[in-house]
Amino acid sequence: MPKQAPVPDELSKPFWDACNERRLVVQNCTACNRMQYPPEQTCSECGSEHNLEWREVSGRGKVNGYCVMHDSRIRLLQADQPFNIVVIELEEDPAIKFLSHLPGTPVDQVPVGASVLVDFQEVGPGQLIHEWRVVG
């Protein structure tokens, strides 16, 4: 389904560039050994901007929970209603949460707890966005 295409900015460009190479990267503070997503200018734990790196992650995760959107304010999504909005937790750190429409999974039949794998969807000319699919 069509999605709004992200507009990369200085902070987010490395993330979206990685998506375009079909890689999922997450900001990581090497001092705190702690990942954070969405990315921020500084580590939200130690407050420093100096130890942030982009760490490539496995792209494996689990379905944490979901809801089913019937009446979105986002115009571009309205034609596809109702649709799943799923919260994914990352294998490396379940505190890191991603969002997904869970393509391939019927509406309101979301298997909470199931394993998922990252996938990439083209949402604008040359821009991929991270999505997730149930595996196994």
Which residues 44-83 are close enough to bind Zn ion by CB under 5 A? 45-46
For 103, half-sphere exposure in the C-beta direction (CA atoms, 13 angstrom radius) is 12
When binding is defined by CB under 8 A, the residue of 30, 49, 58, 76 that contacts other proteins is: 76
CA–CA gap between residue 136 and residue 117 (Å, rounded): 10
Q: Is 46 in the site for other proteins (CB under 8 A)?
A: no
Query: Using the 8-state DSSP alphabet, how is residue 82 labeled?
Result: S
Nearest to 101 by CA among 84, 121, 117: 84
When binding is defined by CB under 5 A, the residue of 11, 31, 76, 95 that contacts Zn ion is: 31
Q: Is 14 in the site for other proteins (CB under 8 A)?
A: no
Residue position matching structure tokens 């969002």: 99
CA–CA gap between residue 129 and residue 118 (Å, rounded): 10
Q: Is 40 in the site for Zn ion (CB under 5 A)?
A: no
CA–CA gap between residue 43 and residue 49 (Å, rounded): 6
Query: Using the 8-state DSSP alphabet, how is residue 3 labeled?
Result: -
Of 21-29, 54-62, 68-76, 116-124, the window that binds Zn ion (rule: CB under 5 A) is 21-29
Residue 32's binding partner out of other proteins, Zn ion, none, with CB under 5 to 8 Å set by partner kind = Zn ion
Residue 46's binding partner out of Zn ion, other proteins, none, with CB under 5 to 8 Å set by partner kind = Zn ion
Strand partners, 14: none
Minimum CB separation from Zn ion for residue 89, in Å? 21
Site residues, other proteins (CB under 8 A): 3-9, 12, 36-38, 44, 64-77, 82-83, 85, 87, 95-101, 108, 112, 123-124, 129
